């Protein structure tokens, strides 16, 4: 039995209605779970003697616009004991409601959640430290969302130099 199957079996046994989907892609497994079970599943992964996922490596988010639910929060865990990785994913319909914080289980989660909030605008209930981490405090919006206006200048290449040059402001003679 592979480690991935073993982890999924442990989660299914402890929380039969928690797993919504299992995605296998290029040797990596993502376990999509119901957000109401997040903290309990993470405690299981961390505290179970046979699993011991003792390292939260990252928290990141995806924007699936125009699909619903629109957002997904991904949690990446590593076990220094078994050398195994697991990714949990929680789908989020309303970013203002978001998901529960993992800050009480891992102190680093407070910072990782702050990064997700800053760039994607997903709230983490119970994280009292959510604030801008990379952007100025007065910044409007969350720039990694797919509907965020880009507002960039088109890059000039050899195939479009005339069109771009016509739109560029030039110094007055």
Only one residue has tokens 């919504």, namely 20
Q: How far apart are CA 167 and CA 35, in angstroms?
A: 48
pLDDT at 163: 86
Q: How far apart are CA 141 and CA 144, in angstroms?
A: 9
pLDDT at 171: 67
Dihedral sign for Cα atoms in the order 154, 61, 106, 111: positive
pLDDT at 2: 45
pLDDT at 166: 85
Average pLDDT across each block of 10 residues of the chain; the chain has 173 residues. List them in order: 72 95 90 97 96 96 95 97 94 97 96 97 96 92 87 74 80 60
């Amino acid at each position: 039995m592979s480690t991935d199957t073993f982890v999924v079996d442990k989660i299914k046994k402890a929380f039969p209605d928690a797993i919504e989907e299992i995605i296998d892609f290029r040797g990596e497994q993502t376990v999509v779970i119901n957000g109401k079970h997040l903290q309990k599943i993470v405690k299981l992964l961390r505290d179970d003697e046979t699993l011991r996922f003792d390292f939260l490596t990252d928290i990141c988010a995806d924007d699936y616009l125009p699909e619903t639910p629109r957002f997904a929060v991904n949690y990446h865990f590593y076990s220094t004991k078994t050398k195994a990785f697991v990714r949990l994913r929680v789908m989020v319909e309303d970013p203002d409601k978001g998901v529960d914080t993992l800050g009480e289980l891992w102190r680093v989660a407070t910072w990782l959640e702050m990064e997700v909030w800053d760039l994607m605008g997903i709230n983490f209930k119970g994280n009292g430290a959510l604030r801008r981490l990379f952007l100025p405090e007065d910044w409007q919006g969350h720039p990694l969302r797919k509907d965020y206006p880009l507002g960039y200048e088109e890059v000039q290449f050899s195939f479009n130099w005339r069109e771009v040059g016509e739109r560029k402001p030039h110094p007055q003679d």
